[in-house]
Chain A
Amino acid sequence: MEEAINKFVLAPAEVVDPGSLTKRRKLTQGEINKALKVFENGGGAKLLTHLNSCVHCGLCAESCIYYKATGDDRFTPARKVDLVASVYRRYHTFAGKYLPSLVSARDLNEDTADEMVDLLFGACTMCGRCTMHCSIGVDIAYLVKTGRTMLSVMGMVPATLQSTVKAAVDTGNNMGIPTPEFVDTLKWMEDEMMDEPGTKDARIPVDAKGRNILYTLNPREPKFFPLSISAMAKIFYAAGESWTLSSSMYDITNYAYFSGNQDEASLIAKRMWDEMDKLDASTLVLAECGHGSRALRWESPNYLHKTFPFKVKTSVEIIADYLHDGKIKLDREKFKEAVTLHDPCNLVRSGGICMEQRYILNEFIKDFREMTPCGIDNYCCGGGGGQLAMSEYNERRMKTARVKAEQIRKTGAKIVVSPCHNCVDQLTQINFSFKLNVQIKTLAELVADALIL
């Protein structure tokens, strides 16, 4: 197990030339036309607005971890916007059609598409920090996603990211864990819990119908970090919650959100909706996964064109509720070390879950230290936007990590907590690469350790 964890989390960044991994091929006119259709399909006034708004002031540069860490002008968010907007201008504006060089309008061809792959997939985590600080108000992350969708319809999603999506589509979880293996892991965790004092009666229910909560997981939990499953199970037990896991559809992640493939994103989301219906649960609780929470809570109703027929909450909100309602109690003496909090971009900046985790930590952490900046202004860890799945960009990703490493170091904290498994993976690599000597934990793990049972 230890070896597997190290291989997955602690592998040094490989130096791979992204270009060598993508075999250049000629785009057909049909593919180009399909990509251009993205500008017309469903973006509405929002897309039109943001495609036409950038004034090339370049003041967004420092908001981006890629620029901040490398100083490379190519990584300025405005350059990414311009890449998508220049194609739009070429086909949809008077100046772009008749005076393309005046407004740097570009044909959508192999050169443009290759540059889009490199900058939109390989140099952006879609963290949205640049959006928040744009002098005009251009939703840069949204335009990057639009560009990714165009690449997706042309079949130009990096193979590594696409294989993660494919695993989820084919097997129901992005790591392709067979159901018997998953159920065995749950049983093993349940046995471990029952051996511990205080949780002898705790259970990990599977496929139980009519429960209050259907809880989800990030597949990295059963695969590499099963203790985080039992952490949440202990919290549910302590709160006296009626809950269950599904044996077949538990994966909170939706990497198709990052690949830009709407059809696959919709399919993955629909399975979770269907599972809620099948198990007749009242509330879907989203595990600690930033993008997964966003994809389900904010995007899935729009993928499926309907409102939720059930309640949806993140595990962070649920834990905050338990504490607020006195359903769980935490030992304030458990952690004497300084603790800092990393804010997952999709949960906080794009999801509005900002104070709940602070409320929880304030309940039992004596020495809590905010990063600077923090909350909705916090920097991305560098692992978002599917970056952790795209090994061809490992070297670049770990360069951007310097920003987060410096933030953590400045807090002087010994424990870094983040309510996102994806962030935890990146933070673990940062910890190793930058020799920070800190512990990286999810929020549930920290809470479970401090539970008074």
Chain B
Amino acid sequence: MTWYTVFFFIAFLVCMAGLSFHLLRLLQSGNNMDYAPQSGSITAGIRYSFTGAMSPTKKESAFLHLPTYSAGIIYHLGTFLSVLLIFILWADVIFPAALSWGLASFLLVSALCGIGILLKRMIKKGLRELSNPDDYISNVLVTVFQLLMGLTLVSGKVFTPWLFIAAALLLFYIPLGKLKHLLYFFAARWQLGLFYGRRGVWPPIKNQKP
């Protein structure tokens, strides 16, 4: 193990501990007893919350902002891919050149999506006023991580230390700022599905016209 993989490993443990803290706190808080009689299906509501309700045809925040929505989806895919790849690289697996270039190309696109989202945040007045340093730091950490992953895939070991350092910094930061939405996103969708499912609002009845 090199010093930077040790550093990465420590960061990984800290990140896991931080996220575990958030998760345990959520589980300990529990859901309040709802005494009102249920009129819909909680299971169907939660299922819909994670599926149909996320569809760009249903979610206004998606279909009114298709470029941003698409960039966000690609950006997140790039992040998940980079996280997967760093563990593969950690295990010293070497990819065939064609695959490395393919993955790096996708990561370049996803990082560009991240940069686009960052620029939008900086340029649009309303978004800029809503933002705080955490929003910018989070974006920069993730985008740099993706770029370094792409570079590492196609340039041998030159960027490897930098990649692991960037990944470690990202991991240290995740439990502190908005990146913890990687946990809270699922909790929020679950809570929303529970709420609307219980009341029979989700899933919506398809034919709303008489």
**A residues near B, CB below 8 A?**
42-50, 52-63, 73, 76, 78-79, 82, 94-95, 101-104, 131-139, 297-302, 304-308, 312, 348-352, 354-355, 358-359, 361-362, 368, 370, 374-377
Please indicate the chain B residues that have their CB under 8 angstroms from the CB of A374 in the complex: 208
State which of B33, B61, B204 has its C-beta within 8 Å of the C-beta of A134.
B61
Give the nearest-CB partner of A305 in chain B.
B35
Give the nearest-CB partner of B127 in chain A.
A58
Give the nearest-CB partner of B65 in chain A.
A59
Please indicate the chain A residues that have their CB under 8 angstroms from the CB of B72 in the complex: 57, 135
Determine whether the beta carbon of A44 is less than 8 Å from that of B29. yes
* B125-139 residues at the A interface, CB under 8 angstroms: 125-127, 129-135, 137
State which of A50, A299, A304, A348 has its C-beta within 8 Å of the C-beta of B191.
A50
Indicate the size class of the contact surface on chain B. Answer: 35 or more
User: What are 27 pairs between A and B in contact, CB < 8 Å?
Assistant: A42-B32, A43-B32, A44-B29, A49-B191, A50-B188, A56-B127, A103-B134, A103-B178, A104-B132, A132-B196, A133-B59, A133-B61, A136-B189, A137-B191, A139-B188, A139-B192, A301-B36, A302-B35, A307-B36, A312-B37, A351-B199, A351-B201, A352-B39, A354-B208, A355-B208, A370-B208, A377-B60
Give the nearest-CB partner of A360 in chain B.
B210
Please indicate the chain B residues that have their CB under 8 angstroms from the CB of A297 in the complex: 36
- B27 at the binding interface (Cβ < 8 Å): yes
Please indicate the chain A residues that have their CB under 8 angstroms from the CB of B205 in the complex: 354-355
**B residues near A, CB below 8 A?**
22, 25-27, 29-37, 39-40, 49, 53, 59-62, 64-65, 68-69, 72, 124-127, 129-135, 137, 176-178, 180-181, 184-185, 187-189, 191-192, 195-196, 199-201, 204-205, 208-210
Complex: A435 Cα to B37 Cα, angstroms: 42
Which of A42, A43, A95 is most buried by chain B, counting CB atoms within 10 A of its CB?
A: A95
State which of B30, B60, B69, B178 has its C-beta within 8 Å of the C-beta of A55.
B178
Complex: A186 Cα to B68 Cα, angstroms: 57
Give the nearest-CB partner of B64 in chain A.
A62
State which of A104, A137, A307 has its C-beta within 8 Å of the C-beta of B185.
A137
Determine whether the beta carbon of B210 is less than 8 Å from that of A362. yes
Please indicate the chain B residues that have their CB under 8 angstroms from the CB of A46 in the complex: 31-32, 191, 195
Given contact pairs A104-B132, A352-B201, enumerate 10 new A-B contacts (beta carbons under 8 Å). Answer: A45-B26, A45-B187, A49-B26, A52-B184, A95-B176, A102-B137, A139-B192, A302-B32, A312-B37, A351-B199
Please indicate the chain B residues that have their CB under 8 angstroms from the CB of A47 in the complex: 29
Please indicate the chain A residues that have their CB under 8 angstroms from the CB of B34 in the complex: 301-302
Complex: A349 Cα to B69 Cα, angstroms: 24
Please indicate the chain B residues that have their CB under 8 angstroms from the CB of A42 in the complex: 32
State which of B22, B137, B181, B210 has its C-beta within 8 Å of the C-beta of A358.
B210
Determine whether the beta carbon of B61 is less than 8 Å from that of A375. no
Determine whether the beta carbon of B68 is less than 8 Å from that of A59. yes
In the A-B complex, the 9 residue pairs with the closest CB atoms:
A362-B210, A73-B126, A352-B200, A301-B35, A59-B61, A104-B132, A137-B188, A133-B60, A45-B29
Give the nearest-CB partner of B28 in chain A.
A45
Please indicate the chain B residues that have their CB under 8 angstroms from the CB of A361 in the complex: 210
Determine whether the beta carbon of A49 is less than 8 Å from that of B36. no
